[in-house]
Every structure is written in structure tokens, then in C-alpha cells.
A = this chain, B = another copy of it.
Amino acid sequence: MAVAARREREREARREAILDAAQVLVASEGYHGLRMDAVAEAAELSKGTLYLYFENKDALCAAVATRLIDTLIPSIQSRIANTTTGLEAVKQLLETYCEFTHDKPQHFRFALAWLSAGERMDDSTESFQIYRGRVDHMLSLVVSAIVRGQADGSIRKDIDPLPQALQVWTSFLGVILVGLNKEAMSQRITAPVDLDQLVPLHLDSVVRALASEGAS
């Protein structure tokens, strides 16, 4: 039955088409602005069809986020490969992360910040489990960079890599979250601050906190 194989391919193509449509819309409208009707319209399908491919809106969003992270991880890995110390690797990792968020702010605000969203989100779907796997993977990159830094002496040895990696990650998240929606933030904070300088500032803080005493 070559038919079944073709059907499978076609199905996968449809799924990708839906993801394409959703990705464009999520960038322009944000998560809450994303309408399933609009996705259906953009994908030239009826709304009901979307639900044959994704359990619900959150599952669709998780799949979009997963695809986005999948473009980020290889970049990070290649950047890390060219570093001489673990501390440098952490720095490169975060910088790559930043460049991506700078390129496609809406996408990554969504893909990464979503994780920390306080509000209810359906995390029971298969799509979400896959997304979770990607996040775990990114976190593991931070952990191994720290471990490597401890081995080569660039990072303090009195820290526990896993919790520290989470600290680095989550604090970065906060900075990115605020830095990404400058327009809204400048409405919400009176202080005349250029939010673009926030990220390098934080990067510097993280490096200072991780570096071994003697390191430059």
C-alpha cells in the first residue's frame, strides 16, 4: 500500500501548513490575539480541520514553539563548539539565544516565555510533552557548559550545576520578557531606560556570578 505512505506524507504537509499559518499569526497577534478561525482562514481550511491535527489551541501553540526552538538549538550547539572555556560557552549560549530573540522577538517571546506563563495552559497534550523535551534539552546545554567550566577552572566549583543552570535560565527569562516588549514596558515603567542595554547588563552579571575568583 503506497497509498498509506502518500496519505501520511500529505497529512504531515497539512500539519506543516497549519503550523506555518499559526507561526505567522502568532508573531503578529501574540498568543491571546491568535484566533483559531484566523489560522484556519490562513491555512485555507475550516476550523474543524485544525482540530484533526491538534488537540486544541495550546497544543498548536506548543507545536509552533517546538519548531522555533528547533531552529535555535543547532545554532547554540555550533557556537558552543567553538569556545575555549565553559564560562565562554555559557556566554555564547546566552548570546545566541539573545540574537534569536532579537531577530524574531514575537516568536521567541512566545516560544520561551510561554513556559513560565503563570496562567493555566494545557500541558497534558502530546505536543506539549514534546515542547517540554526541547526545553529540557536547552537546559541541559546550560548544565553541561557549567560542568565543563568547573572542569576547566573558568567557573566556580562551589556551585551545583543543575540548580544554577535553572537560575541562569530563569533570570534570563525575566530580562528577555521585559526587554522584548519595550513598547508596552515603556508604558508601564516611567523610568527613561533603554531596555536594549538590559540584556548585555544581565549577561555581564551572570558571568560575574559564575566566574571563579581569579578569572578575568
Contacts and interface: CB of A to CB of B under 8 A. Distances in A.
Nearest to A199: B167
Contacts of A194: 163
Most B Cβ at <10 Å: residue of A118, A120, A184: A118
Contacts of A162: 191, 193
A18 B166 CA distance: 39
Most B Cβ at <10 Å: residue of A170, A198, A208: A170
Contact of A197 (B123, B163, B188, B209): B163
Contacts of A185: 116
Contacts of A119: 30-33
A74 to B, nearest CB: 21
What is the copy number of this chain in the assembly?
2
What does DSSP make chain A's interface, helix, strand, loop or mixed? helix
Nearest to A106: B118
Interface in A117-172: 118-120, 123, 132-133, 135-136, 139, 162-164, 166-167, 170-172
B109 A113 contact: no
Give 6 nearest A-B pairs by CB, closest first: A174-B174, A205-B209, A171-B171, A173-B174, A170-B178, A208-B209
A216 to B, nearest CB: 12
A180 B189 CA distance: 23
A123 B198 contact: no
